[in-house]
Amino acid sequence: MSIRLFFSIFLSMIALNVAAQGRELPDFTDLVDKHGSAVVNVSTTQTVRGNRTLPQFPELDEDDPMFEFFKRFIPRQPGMPRDFQSKSLGSGFIISPDGYILTNAHVVDSADEIAVKLTDKREFKAKVIGTDKRTDVALIKIEASGLPTVKMGDPGKLRVGEWVVAIGSPFGFESSVTAGIVSAKGRALPQENFVPFIQTDVAINPGNSGGPLFNMKGEVVGINSQIYSRTGGYMGVAFAIPIDVAMEVQSQLRISGRVSRGRIGVVIQELTKELAESFGLSKATGALVNAVEKGGPAEKAGVEAGDIILKFDGKAIAASSDLPRIVGATRPGSKVSMQVWRKGATRDLGVTVGEIPEEKTAQRSQKRAKPAEAAANRLGLVLSELSPEQKRELKIANGLLIEDVRANGSRTDLRPGDVILAVVHKGSSTEASSVDQFNKLLTQFDKSATITLLVRRGEQQTYITLKGLGDK
């Protein structure tokens, strides 16, 4: 064989190998072209009661450059409360040609106005049909027809390692496309009992919330909802709500504006290998009951503390986190079978499922000073300590309730009713235990410092980063 022939064959083999590798790389262009038009930008405006006071200039519009001049250089006059607008951005996607849109509940929560922008630059005002904070799903609607829609996929068919694509508006950059793989399925998160999350490494940032997660067939398999981050930005761990869970929620929201969930009244814990052995079980599967609500559905059905729930309505309970989700998806009033392990044997019980009451959130204390009379801290926040009753309702040990947000436009991402749980700075987290302790902690930071607050909003927890704290 001649040297020329050898090199010709060698180069051909390299070319074939490169081509084969090229064919293995995913191409997202067709997916984006076909389905990107059904993804929308969702912007909200909320009026916040503040104390951002100015002398009265009735003839001066806030868009006038002179308004900013007077605001900065004319001394403020106390006792002139003003309303100011808090704005936020998110994403969503169209599920019906007549304008029904799915997004996250936290995107539209407490919004006074909701604006939806399509990829063709048309804008519409949207109304909230209903929200479900427990799954973080919201259904909104715009008055339009003939709209492009997404196709629904089956999250159950997703495989770990499979390519997925997110489209949304991170930081307000509309129609941004990011891709990654499925990292895990059925992920249970703390305080999230009703969603078996899809974990991905898709780049998800603030503004992506509510946007769709596509499989390679161009089908929506989830709603991008949360990120795990120590900085407030992308760190390779994102969570999406499976679309089958979201569609079940939206169907109830569309009919009644609320979601009804089942409950049986038990307190459960994870069954470890050691516990399983002590109860005589060969496998650590099921939910261990450590308390039964007096007079609740489970007690009436004969459930006892120490029982291990193996099946509910014919569905196996592989882990304790499965039980709240399965029970919650059961229609209240239904009578279903339940298999429990007790004293070395299985027993079949019949239980009539109850209904979870409306969620409770922290309310502003009526016994404290009015926001207008209370002093704001360095961040422009009026804070109060939670009462024992509020702590019990929220199931938290400590936290500070935001009574009012004042005089600092950079804090508009914080809202009255939020509960501050902790302060994070340079990798160190400090629990917010009292107003004095929190305010003293703030004095330790330079005015240019960046801190992150862990905030409880309804039943959701989120990290909010504040850049530049101002003077002490």
The pLDDT of residue 409: 43
3-state DSSP assignment of residue 23: helix
What's the pTM?
A: 0.64
> Is 136 labeled as catalytic in the residue annotation?
yes
> Is 106 labeled as catalytic in the residue annotation?
yes
Q: pLDDT of the chain along its 472 residues, tens only? A: 566 665 566 666 665 565 555 557 799 999 999 999 999 999 999 876 654 444 444 444 444 444 444 444 444 444 445 566 778 899 999 999 999 999 999 999 889 999 999 999 999 999 999 999 999 999 999 999 999 999 999 999 999 999 999 999 998 899 999 999 999 998 888 767 789 999 999 999 999 999 999 999 999 999 999 988 877 778 889 999 999 999 999 999 999 888 999 999 998 888 888 888 888 898 999 999 988 999 999 999 999 988 999 999 999 999 888 999 899 989 999 999 999 999 889 999 999 999 988 654 444 444 444 444 567 888 888 889 988 888 888 888 889 998 888 754 445 578 888 899 888 776 567 889 899 898 888 888 887 777 878 888 876 677 677 776 766 5
The pLDDT of residue 192: 73
Cβ–Cβ under 8 Å, residues 106 and 460: yes
The distance of Cα 235 from the centroid of its chain, to the nearest Å, equals 16
Which ranges of 216-295 would DSSP assign to H, the alpha helix? 243-256, 273-278
**Is residue 56 packed enough to be buried (19+ CB in 10 Å), middle (13-18) or exposed (0-12)?**
exposed
**Could you tell me the two tokens for 427?**
């990798």
The pLDDT of residue 396: 86
Closest to 211 in 3D by CA, of 113, 119, 90: 90
> Is 436 labeled as catalytic in the residue annotation?
no
Which ranges of 222-328 would DSSP assign to H, the alpha helix? 243-256, 273-278, 297-301, 322-328
Structural domains of the chain ordered from first start: 38-142 (2.40.10.10), 151-256 (2.40.10.10), 262-355 (2.30.42.10), 381-467 (2.30.42.60)
- Residue 167 CB contacts under 8 Å (≥ 6 apart), including other chains: 32, 35, 36, 39, 91, 175, 176, 177, 211, 212, 214
The distance of Cα 241 from the centroid of its chain, to the nearest Å, equals 9
Cβ–Cβ under 8 Å, residues 183 and 202: no
Name the catalytic one among 43, 183, 209, 384.
209
The pLDDT of residue 429: 75
Instruction: Give the Cα separation of 261 and 55 in Å (integer).
Output: 51
The pLDDT of residue 364: 43
CA atoms within 13 Å, Cβ hemisphere of 432: 25
Cβ–Cβ under 8 Å, residues 263 and 327: yes
Name the catalytic one among 109, 132, 136, 404.
136
Helix (H) or strand (E) holding 4: helix 3-24
3-state DSSP assignment of residue 426: coil
The pLDDT of residue 362: 45
Name the catalytic one among 43, 106, 322, 418.
106
Residue type for position 22:
G
* Phi and psi, residue 436, nearest 5°: -60, -45
